[in-house]
Amino acid sequence: MEGIVIKSTGSWFTVMQNNGSKINCKLKGQFRIKGIKTTNPVAVGDKVEFIHVRDKSTGLIIRIFERKNHIIRRSTKLSKLSHIIASNIDQAVLIVTHTKPRTSTGFIDRFLVTAEAYHIPAVLVINKIDLFNEEIEKYHNKFIKIYSSVGYPCYSVSALKRINLKQFAGLLKDKKSLLSGHSGVGKSALVNAIEPGLDLKTGEISKVHNKGKHTTAYAEMHKLSVGGFIIDTPGIKEFGLLDFDKSEVAERFPEMREKMHDCRFNNCTHVHEPDCAVKKAVENGTISKSRYLNYLSILDDNYFEIVDWNK
């Protein structure tokens, strides 16, 4: 029998079959997946094969199907082991707001770079559009122009005034979506607006983490009645990266990736080199200045060495 792992507690896994029925499963022996040293061989999102045991009330996972992608974090700060948070994600949905609170483009671009690195398509959902005044409206129009021209779909919604919620539900339909966003942007409000009763803990940071003690956060998938799943990752505030090389950052900006082959030097960092096609594109407005500045800031900081997702 086959199903998808929707919850994991470490030793038990909840597997959901196509018909929606759930069964608690254990793992058969030791699993090893090529190339990843991991503390958990099975993660939420994994497609697995299982057999029933004894009275059929529980199961045994005997096979994990190949993963399309997965997101990881290092098990502990110094550990070489990683913890797989979720796998087979169809899209990363970032909920942002322009006001109350304003989500910075620095945060957004770091999120998008991370999604690119994991090869997970990213989508931006701008919530609280009911709060717009003329000035924010202007900012919003510019924002949409920048991000949609780079290739990121943008949805403008209001959970409160129920604006464009059909489109939002359509976005999630039949997909496995990782939902992220700063605290207070309205993740719970949006999900509750299309799926009443589903109380996600997406933005919460567990108190244990703040004390610096490591506990493993397990993701959970929630089935939506429109079809599809939302992946909830308690204790994980934002996307993190492992072993990411600074020379790869520009490639994670699709609009830079497109231009960089025309730079004079093939190891151009697009910072100070002469005849840089990326800098030229920034000057003539083809590449957004704010995106470029965030690129510089990512190069400059230690973001890619920080792998603690609970920061």
Ligand X SMILES: Nc1nc2c(ncn2[C@@H]2O[C@H](COP(=O)(O)OP(=O)(O)OP(=O)(O)O)[C@@H](O)[C@H]2O)c(=O)[nH]1
Assess 199 for contact with ligand X (CB under 6 A): no
Interface pick for ligand X out of 87, 127, 156, 310 (rule CB under 6 A): 127
- 89 counts as binding Zn ion under rule CB under 5 A: no
CA angle 180, 185, 187 (to 5 degrees): 50
* Nearest distance, CB of residue 127 and ligand X, angstroms: 5
39-72 core/surface letters (b: 16 or more CB in 10 A; e: else): ebebbbbbbbebeeeeeeeebebeebeebeebbb
CB-based burial label for 127 (10 Å; 0-12, 13-18, 19+): buried
Distances in Å between the alpha carbon of 220 and those of 14, 199, 241?
10, 12, 20
Name the closest residue to Mg ion (Cβ): 188
Angle at 51 between CA 45 and CA 55, to 5 degrees: 120
Type of residue at 298? I
Based on the shown chain and the rule CB under 6 A, indicate whether residue 181 belongs to the binding site for ligand X: yes
- The alpha carbon of residue 228 and the mean position of all alpha carbons in its chain are separated, in whole angstroms, by 16
By C-beta, is 10 or 196 nearer to ligand X? 196
Q: Which is nearer to ligand X, 130 or 137 (CB)?
A: 130
The residue within the footprint of Zn ion, chosen from 84, 268, 282, 298 (CB under 5 A), is: 268
Site string for Zn ion, 109-148 (x = CB under 5 A): ----------------------------------------
Cα 210 to Cα 12: distance, rounded to the nearest angstrom: 26
233 binds ligand X (CB under 6 A): no
Q: Which residues bind Mg ion (CB under 5 A)?
A: 187-188, 203
C-beta of 6 vs 159, nearer to ligand X: 159
Listed ranges 168-176, 219-227, 241-249, 269-277: which one lies at the site for Zn ion (CB under 5 A): 269-277
Binding flag, residue 276, Zn ion (CB under 5 A): yes
Write down the residue that tokens 């030097």 correspond to. 265
**Minimum CB distance to Zn ion smaller for 50 or for 253:** 253
| Shortest Cβ 162–ligand X spacing (Å) | 9
Given candidates 69, 76, 183, 297, which one binds ligand X under the rule CB under 6 A? 183
Question: Three-class SS of residue 126?
Answer: strand
Nearest to ligand X of 202, 288 (CB atom): 202
- CB count within 10 Å of CB 37 equals 11
Binding site for Zn ion (CB under 5 A): 263, 268, 270, 276, 278
